[in-house]
């Protein structure tokens, strides 16, 4: 198994060999080897009894063509055929059920493995990876892995056994008759290899184009308010049609390659040549009529691999293409480590930046040689123009990102040496863009502390000035809110986020312009709540509101990724032109 670092790891998560798509799928299947063994036995037994049936039909022709037909022998043959087909039905059930059972189990395991892997990815990964494409891989590509097993491998494994018995039993009639099934089998695999080689890149293109189509759809729906507000529905529809056409063209190309596969012609040729060969032996007296019928029946068994190959191998190719896309997502390197053995002591809240530089991928430094120190319990205001690096600075403290150079220390310990879970449990961030889940109000408030009592939840809501409006809802704290909190006003969403932070009682609290959507009547109440919450804990406030900046113990003026000035409000108004300009604009 390929080992990669992970920002977050679920213990006992399902893992598999990720060195290649085929290895990965096989390693998942191997975990269910008892069921697969039953399915393989079912497939082999089904083919064997089908061959027995064909041979017995030939024997029956010999009996009825005799001068004095032996009815007792004919009855025995009929019973053998009936018994064989009854058992065949049970074996087919074992084969189909076994592969379908394994397919569903593997789909479940793959979804769990992928989901836990995605939770462990860093924010750098999620910022760069389109959500629509991720959803396509987590839904449709995983489903294609399911189809790889059932009906894909169900039909392939079952049909390949039908190639074996004509070769095994043909010599029992005449050694010469082995020629046709052997030639057919050799040519079948040669054509199949060529077919799969040409099909693989096309099925990958089909899955890639579907991912791009899903990305286009996801972005349009996520930004539907912007699309409608700008009257760009027509343009978005045009872009979506382009992705639909790209996906359609790839699917049509796949169909074109499938149509060029020639198993039917090979099968028809084998039947014609084999029957002619058997009739020549019959004419020469080397084969009886029952032998001709039995041998032709064995050749008819080649229809299963012929017809199944026209679509079953496409399912396998699409499944492997889907597995490749899933693996590409999971194997992409993380740049954060959970550091399970890291420091897990209690946090006081001292924060120090030592010559910190941070650069996003392929960009200029967002922060450049930043140094400062904050004592436990201090309130720090970060001010500066949009894009100056304020939010990035805050994200380095809880290791949403890791520094490019320099170091960030909490309580004198490099954040990279902290146990990541312990570090983040002691830090709460309230962002400008509040995310709420499609759950009850109480569940959203208690998200960071799932075991919280209703009393604790209500206390946190009161502190965030949210209790009153929550009670105005029909179901109060049990009201289910829409995705992202779209059923709430901006101020209500931010107050719920404040309540969520208050409930976890963090040692470091970060407010990223978190009161921007709060009306002036509510602001004073929340200001007092924030002021009370800031006591005893280190608080970082990113804001442009002078009312919040004035009472900070330390104000850091960030300009172009550097600390341009530091001090109290009164000091900076006297000494920092940059700071004065921020409030004069």
Domain ranges of the chain: 21-208+246-331, 351-584
CA-CA distance, 238 to 232, in Å (whole number)? 10
- Classify 351-584 by CATH class: alpha beta
pLDDT band at 125 (very low <50, low <70, confident <90, very high): confident
pLDDT the model gives residue 144: 92
- Among the ranges given (111-120, 155-164, 427-436, 440-449), the one the predictor scored with the smallest mean pLDDT: 427-436
pLDDT the model gives residue 578: 81
**Average pLDDT value for residue range 536-549:** 81
Superfamily of domain 21-208+246-331: ABC transporter type 1, transmembrane domain (1.20.1560.10)
Closest CA relative to residue 106, chosen from 137, 148, 135, 154: 148
pLDDT digits (tens, 9 = 90+) for 451-501: 889 999 999 888 888 888 899 888 899 988 875 555 677 778 878 888 888
Q: Global pTM?
A: 0.73
pLDDT the model gives residue 320: 92
Cβ atoms of 202 and 257 within 8 Å: the answer is: yes
Is the per-residue pLDDT at 3 higher than 50? no
Most confidently modeled range among 83-92, 200-209, 225-234, 427-436? 83-92
Closest CA relative to residue 275, chosen from 292, 298, 291, 294: 292
pLDDT the model gives residue 447: 87
Closest CA relative to residue 82, chosen from 42, 47, 48, 53: 53
pLDDT band at 219 (very low <50, low <70, confident <90, very high): confident
pLDDT the model gives residue 248: 93
Is the per-residue pLDDT at 60 higher than 70? yes
Higher-confidence residue: 71 or 585?
Answer: 71
Cβ atoms of 213 and 244 within 8 Å: the answer is: yes
CA-CA distance, 409 to 456, in Å (whole number)? 31
Residue holding tokens 């120190």?
A: 373
pLDDT band at 105 (very low <50, low <70, confident <90, very high): very high
pLDDT the model gives residue 12: 47
pLDDT band at 98 (very low <50, low <70, confident <90, very high): very high
Cβ atoms of 441 and 478 within 8 Å: the answer is: yes
pLDDT the model gives residue 425: 85
- Among the ranges given (109-123, 414-428, 526-540), the one the predictor scored with the smallest mean pLDDT: 526-540
pLDDT band at 577 (very low <50, low <70, confident <90, very high): confident
Is the per-residue pLDDT at 2 higher than 50? no
Per-chain mean pLDDT for the chain: 86
């Amino acid at each position: 198994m390929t080992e990669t670092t992970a920002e977050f790891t679920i213990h006992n998560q399902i893992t598999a060999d990720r060195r290649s798509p085929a290895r990965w799928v096989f390693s998942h299947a191997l975990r269910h080897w008892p069921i697969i063994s039953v399915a393989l036995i079912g497939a082999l037994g089904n083919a064997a009894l089908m061959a027995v049936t064909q041979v017995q039909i030939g024997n029956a022709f010999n009996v009825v063509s005799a001068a004095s037909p032996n009815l007792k022998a004919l009855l025995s043959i009929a019973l053998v055929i009936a018994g064989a087909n009854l058992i065949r039905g049970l074996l087919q059930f074992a084969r189909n059920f076994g592969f379908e059972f394994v397919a569903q189990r593997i789909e479940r395991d793959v979804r769990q493995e992928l989901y836990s892997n995605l939770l462990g990815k860093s924010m750098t990964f999620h910022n760069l990876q389109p959500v629509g494409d991720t959803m396509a891989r987590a839904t449709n590509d995983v489903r294609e892995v399911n189809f790889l097993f059932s009906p894909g491998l169900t039909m392939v494994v079952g049909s390949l056994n039908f190639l074996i018995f004509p070769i095994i039993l043909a010599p029992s009639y005449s050694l010469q008759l082995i020629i046709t099934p052997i030639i057919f089998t050799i040519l079948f695999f040669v054509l199949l290899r060529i077919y799969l080689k040409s099909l693989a890149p096309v099925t990958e293109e089909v899955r890639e184009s579907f991912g791009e189509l899903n990305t286009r759809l996801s972005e349009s729906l996520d930004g539907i308010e912007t699309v409608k507000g700008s009257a760009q529905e027509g343009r978005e529809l045009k872009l979506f049609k382009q992705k639909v056409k790209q996906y359609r063209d790839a699917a049509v190309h796949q169909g074109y390659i499938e149509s060029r596969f020639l198993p039917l012609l090979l099968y028809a040729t084998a039947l014609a040549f084999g029957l002619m060969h058997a009739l020549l032996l019959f004419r020469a007296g080397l084969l009886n009529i029952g032998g001709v019928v039995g041998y032709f029946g064995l050749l008819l068994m080649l229809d299963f691999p012929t017809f199944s190959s026209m679509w079953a191998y496409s399912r396998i190719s699409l499944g492997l293409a889907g597995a490749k896309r899933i693996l590409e997502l999971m194997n992409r390197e993380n740049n954060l480590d959970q550091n399970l053995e890291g420091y897990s002591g209690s946090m006081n809240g001292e924060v120090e930046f030592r010559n910190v530089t941070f650069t996003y991928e392929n960009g200029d430094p967002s922060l450049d040689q930043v140094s400062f120190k904050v004592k436990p319990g201090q309130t720090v205001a970060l001010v500066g123009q949009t894009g100056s690096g304020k939010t990035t600075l805050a994200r380095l403290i809880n290791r949403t990102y890791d520094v490019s150079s320099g170091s960030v220390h909490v309580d004198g310990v490099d954040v990279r040496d902290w146990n990541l879970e312990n570090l983040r449990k002691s830090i709460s961030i309230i962002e400008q863009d509040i995310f709420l889940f499609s759950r009850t109000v109480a569940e959203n408030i208690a998200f960071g502390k799932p075991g919280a009592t209703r009393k604790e939840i209500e206390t946190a809501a009161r502190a965030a000035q949210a209790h009153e409006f929550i009670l105005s809802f029909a179901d109060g704290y049990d009201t289910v809110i829409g995705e992202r909190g779209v059923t709430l006003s901006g101020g209500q969403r931010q107050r719920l986020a404040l309540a969520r932070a208050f409930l976890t009682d963090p040692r470091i609290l970060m407010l990223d312009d978190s009161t921007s959507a709060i009306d002036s009547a509510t602001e004073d109440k929340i200001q007092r709540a924030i002021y009370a919450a800031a006591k005893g804990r280190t608080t970082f406030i990113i804001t442009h509101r002078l009312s919040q900046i004035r009472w900070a113990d330390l104000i850091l003026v960030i300009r172009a990724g550097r600390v341009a000035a530091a001090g109290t409000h009164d000091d900076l108004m006297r000494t920092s032109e940059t700071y004065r300009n921020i409030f004069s604009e």
